[in-house]
Amino acid sequence: MSNTDALIKNLVEKHGNSRNSLMPILQGVVREERSLTEDAMLKVAEALDISAAEVYGTASFYTFLDTIPRGKNVIRICKTITCHMKGKDEIIEALEKELNINVGETTSDKQFTLLTANCLGWCHKGPVMLINDEIYPDLTVEKALEIIQEYAHNTK
Amino acid sequence: METAEAKNFKKVDIIFECQDCKPIEVLDTNLQRKPDDIILDIIDSGLKGRGGAGFPTGLKWKFTKNESAEPKYVICNADEGEPGTFKDREILDRVPEKVFVGMALCGYSIGAKEGIIYLRGEYNFLLKDLNKKLEKFNKQLKERNLDFAITIKSGSGAYICGEESALFESMEGKRGEPRNKPPYPTSEGYNAKPTVINNVETLVYTTMICNLGSDKFKELGTKDSRGSKVFSVSGDTPIAGIYELELGMSLGTFVEEFGDGDTKSVQVGGASGHCVPRKYFEDTIIGFEGIPTGGSMMIFNSTRSMYNVLHDYLEFFTEESCGQCTPCRVGCQQLLEGIEAVKKGERRPSYLEDLKKLASNMNLAAKCGLGQSVANPFNSIVDNFKEEIIY
């Protein structure tokens, strides 16, 4: 049994195999693996006894349920107006340069994916970014780079 | 614009204040009362939903209680996604017990056994602490022999799931596509069962009305807008943050308090709200008789391009439209491409009038609040800042 298979089995045991459990199960897979592979979605469909199209339909609707491979750390920088006014463009530029990728891409070592997001709910403390589930408000370029370097260091 | 007289600017401390009010004691006192008395109190208070739509909370509870289908649900809408709003996060972070008690009192009043908090995925960092506090709270309910328990379900990054019927779809494991209404949630909500769905802040006010009495609450605000409200203030202000204010003040007094002295316009109610230019500040009342708001107040000074502001909002709606109905899916794209074309000179300035008609048609034809409200920012920004859109 592969890691993903075991993970799905555990999640189904924890949340049950009803249709209402689909979101927590998909969220659980993404929490561990950062994205949903075709194989994972097929396995979930089988476990819940629904069609794979239903699983893909749900997964593809939600921004955080990625169906394309992502890095170990997913960075989402808020791009909505107040964060824009407080300088999110400089943060994005700095991170693109540091990680040597553009927004939407993943580093070749699969450690980081850089994305933008709609309003993250920290408009009074922008610019702000989310890394996986952790939030980092009041960013400056220096602070953002420091945080990224810390992640790079910790996940080596 | 309304001509009703505006209230003075007044800071209030009900939501976050916690010295006099131990939430669990409010629960204990009110469990001695009849469910109907609690509902009557909430109706009498005049409390309207604080998420933005403003439906009378007490009536929601009453309609749901009157349904015979079982089981019933109490859902806390914590899918706070409106740009410029961050008050629900702050409430869940600082006074979650007041939210829990509001849910439990609602459950007791309407006869529900299950409460669910739908928390947006962007706030997952709150989960650990919230779950810990819920575990304790659920235990306290058990000790009181109240057959009610609260759990949390997470969202996964979709603005539209703040729309109540899309939220139910999401909780049922489906795409977050809004349903046709009616039926309304009070008769067929989550799992097609009678459901009360209230915003985080609304639930705290129900707790506080049960604590202070509806008369105390009614002393604040105006006839159409009872009580106070938590505002999320951001943009060009030296004091961005969360403020609880009495409803019914004029936008002029608001700007005097929060502006940086050079305020050009205020977006009241988030991306889906209205843009008010300086010349209307004094005549605009913040409340249901003027411009209602879920609490988002974004302040722009004269250095800001209103074209950029509108462009940002339209990009937001284009991405967050669920794509289910054509007026919204295609309309948002066309509005965005339309102002870009006018800006580049590929279209005549008069094309803006066609786009305004499109926005108004979306208001009539779109299936849910998302598509319907795009006309608010679009028409108010284009009407008041046409030169900035064209040149």
Write out pLDDT tens, residues A20-30: 999 999 999 99
Burial of residue A99 (number of CB atoms within 10 Å: 0-12, 13-18, 19+): buried
Share of chain A above pLDDT 90, in %: 96
Question: What 3-state class would DSSP assign to B192?
Answer: helix
Q: What are phi and psi of B242, to 5 degrees?
A: -105, 130
What is the per-residue pLDDT for B1? Answer: 45
- How much is the pLDDT for B5? 77
String of DSSP letters for B296-307? EEEEEETTS-HH
Question: DSSP E strands: which ranges in B200-240?
Answer: 228-235
pLDDT at position B6 = 86
Say which residue the tokens 């600017």 belong to.
B9
B302 touches chain A (CB under 8 A): no
Which residues are within 8 A (CB) of A6 and not within 5 positions of it... i.e. 6 or more apart? none
Which residue among B124, B157, B235 places its CB closest to the CB of A85? B235
Q: What was the pLDDT predicted at A152?
A: 95
Instruction: Parse chain B into domains and list their residue ranges.
Output: 15-218, 228-301, 306-390
Strands B149-154 and B114-119: what pairing?
A: parallel
Flag residues of chain A having pLDDT under 50.
none
Closest CA to B79 of B175, B170, B209, B181: B170
10-residue mean pLDDT series, chain B (391 residues)? 72 83 92 97 96 93 98 98 96 96 98 98 97 98 97 97 97 97 97 98 97 94 93 97 96 97 97 97 93 93 97 98 97 98 97 98 97 97 97 93
> If DSSP codes are grouped into helix, strand and coil, which group holds residue B115?
strand
pLDDT of residue B20: 64
What part of B 325-344 touches A (C-beta under 8 Å)? Answer: none
The CA distance from B252 to B270, in Å, is: 18
| Partners of A106 in the β-ladder | A113
Rounded Cα–Cα distance for residues B222 and B7 (Å): 8
**What percentage of chain A exceeds 70 in pLDDT?**
99
Contact between B53 and B234 under an 8 Å Cβ cutoff? The reply is no
CATH code 3.60.15.10 for B306-390? no
Of the candidates B147, B124, B149, the residue with the CA atom closest to the CA atom of residue B136: B149
* Backbone phi and psi for residue A74, each to the nearest 5 degrees, phi listed first: -100, 115
Which residues have a Cβ under 8 Å from the Cβ of A58 and sit 6 or more positions away? A22, A23, A26, A65, B173, B174, B175
Q: What is the fold of B228-301?
A: Ubiquitin-like (UB roll) (3.10.20)
Look up residue A2 and give its two tokens.
């592969």
Select the CATH number that applies to the domain covering B15-218 from these four: 3.30.1330.10, 3.40.470.10, 3.30.70.20, 3.40.50.11540: 3.40.50.11540
Q: Which two tokens stand for residue B52?
A: 């933005």
Strands (E), B287-335: 296-301
Query: How far apart (Å, rounded) are the C-alpha atoms in residues B287 and B277?
Result: 17
Burial class (CB in 10 A: 0-12, 13-18, 19+), B127: middle
CA distance B378 to chain A (A): 15
Which sequence spans correspond to the domains of chain A?
A: 3-61, 73-152
Q: Answer yes or no: are the C-beta atoms of B212 and B29 closer than 8 Å.
A: no
Query: Per the structure block, which two tokens stand in for B198?
Result: 């209230």
DSSP A45-75: HHHHTS-HHHHHHHHHH-TTS--S---SEEE
Q: What was the ipTM of the complex prediction?
A: 0.97
H or E segment to which residue B331 belongs = helix B326-344
Residue type, B169: E
Angle, CA A65 vertex, CA A59 and CA A66 arms, to 5° = 100
Nearest to A124 among B171, B176, B234 (CB): B234
B158 closest CB neighbour out of A19, A24, A61: A61
Contact A124 B173 (CB under 8 A): no
Inform me whether the C-beta atom of residue B122 falls under 8 Å from chain A C-beta atoms: yes
For residue A109, give the DSSP letter: T
What does the pLDDT read at residue B19? Answer: 63
CATH class of A73-152: alpha beta
B31 in contact with A at a CB cutoff of 8 Å?
Answer: no
A120:B122 CB<8 A: yes
Distance CA B155, CA A27 (A): 9
Cα A43 from Cα A89, distance rounded (Å): 40
Q: Which residues pair with A76 in a beta bridge?
A: A115, A130
